[in-house]
Copies of this chain bind each other. A is one copy, B any other.
Amino acid sequence: MAAEVNGKSNQSISHTKHKHVKLGLFGFGCVGQGLYHVLEETPGIKAEIKKICVKNKSKARPLRADLMTFNKEDVLLDKDIDVVVELIDDANAAFEIVKAALKNGKAVVTANKKMLAEHLEEIYQLQIQYGKPVLYEGSVCGAIPIIRNLEEYYDNDLLTGIEGIFNGSTNYILTKVFDENKSYADALAKAQELGFAESDPSLDVKGFDPKFKLVIAIAHTFGVFVKPEDVINIGIDRISDLDLKFARENKYGIKLVARAFKKDGRVFGFVAPQFIEQTHPLFAVRNEYNAVQVESAFAEKQLFIGKGAGSYPTGSAVLSDVSALTYDYQYEYKKLNQPHDLKFSNSLSVDAFVSFEQGTNISIGDFEQFQNGYAANGKQYMVGRVKLEKLQAWSLLDGVGIILAPNATLVPEKEITKEIDALV
């Protein structure tokens, strides 16, 4: 049918000239190989891999030898290469590659969330300085096109919040805990066995990985740069059998939720586990799937669900960035350039379930509003409203588990300066 249409008119709509781009890759691990295969099987994309720079000389790779190099200058100084695709693990080395690529007049595609979260403001400045774009759709929730939608589609709507499941490994573990009635430790071991969790899972289970993604999302949602160390992350690694028993009895799930929202001139954001009711939209997001909910004044709540990791989903996100570079796309950081005076803040109280061993230095007086508590077999449970920074401190104590209440109320504290102003 399309053939008929094309037959009738020799013209087609095409307002942008698509150029052919030549890629230089750094790294050929899971995502790099995914990109390579996605690119091979995709007709019509005007991009080809010219060089792949890898580190380990002894590893066998299913690739033409002339594509490979061990010298990064073979990519960075090759005038023929338009786009550097950075897909290595090491965040510091990745940042050096990004800087060198921009300096050498190349556009960059990366999926390195740690590097981006740590250097986003510098990367924004470097893009201005060198006039070349850095795209990173694959860094936040894999195949879910969240950055592009925040930039392009929600550019004018008044965004009030963003939240979701930003980490596939922990969601896989938390799904298995309930589906197969496992303990946290057994579910983690199973996830590691199946490759859904790293052998060192701490970046995931302690909530650092979703925090890096949240930092990137906050810049594109609210136009605010925040350092990852200023954002609180509470992990799922302290979830106890008592917590799981409580969840099962109440037919709750537990999800590791990353969230940020805007209130009274401030942006709040953190990562923490939360009890989730069955009617909550995140309840149905299972296994390695990720989800992002965008809340705005007019479009209301929009939920995006998709695979958050893996060779093909992330490779496909990286390819989508490469494709966007064929028509000179770049992020405009629209929210950043809209006039605003937003500041990131942790002055927030939240409703949480806190479990701890008898003798831990936690008492009713620590709660802004104490709701209830009970003790059994040397363990204690307290429920109530607590300052976020206190929760963070507790989360570092031995044997303390923290899970937000289902539909937890999040209460920004009043700014002291404002109160003083009012008194004067």
Q: Are A149 and B145 in contact (CB under 8 A)?
A: yes
Q: Is the CB of B333 within 8 A of A13?
A: yes
Across-interface contacts of A125 in B (CB, < 8 A): 5, 8-9
Of the candidates B124, B128, B306, B342, the one whose C-beta lies within 8 Å of that of A301 is: B306
Residues A318-350 near B (CB distance < 8 A): 319-320, 323-324, 328, 330-333, 335-338, 340-344
Residue of B224, B301, B307, B340 touching A300 (CB-CB under 8 A): B307
Q: For residues 139 through 190 of chain A, which have their beta carbon under 8 Å from a beta carbon of chain B?
A: 143-145, 148-149, 152-158
Give the number of times this chain occurs in the complex, counting copies. 2
Which among A249-257, A291-299, A404-412 touches the partner chain?
A291-299
Among B38, B224, B317, B332, the residue within 8 A (CB) of A15 is B332
A42 with B158: CB separation less than 8 A: yes
Stretch of A70-78, A81-89, A308-316, A360-368 with 4 or more beta carbons under 8 angstroms from chain B? A308-316
Partner of A128, one of B13, B38, B338, B340: B13
Q: Does A43 contact B (CB under 8 A)?
A: yes
Contact A337 B12 (CB under 8 A): yes
| Contact surface of A with B, Cβ cutoff 8 Å | 1-3, 5-6, 8-9, 11-16, 34, 38, 41-45, 121, 124-125, 127-128, 133, 143-145, 148-149, 152-158, 223-226, 279, 281, 283-284, 286, 296-307, 312-313, 315-317, 319-320, 323-324, 328, 330-333, 335-338, 340-344
Are B332 and A13 touching (Cβ within 8 A)? yes
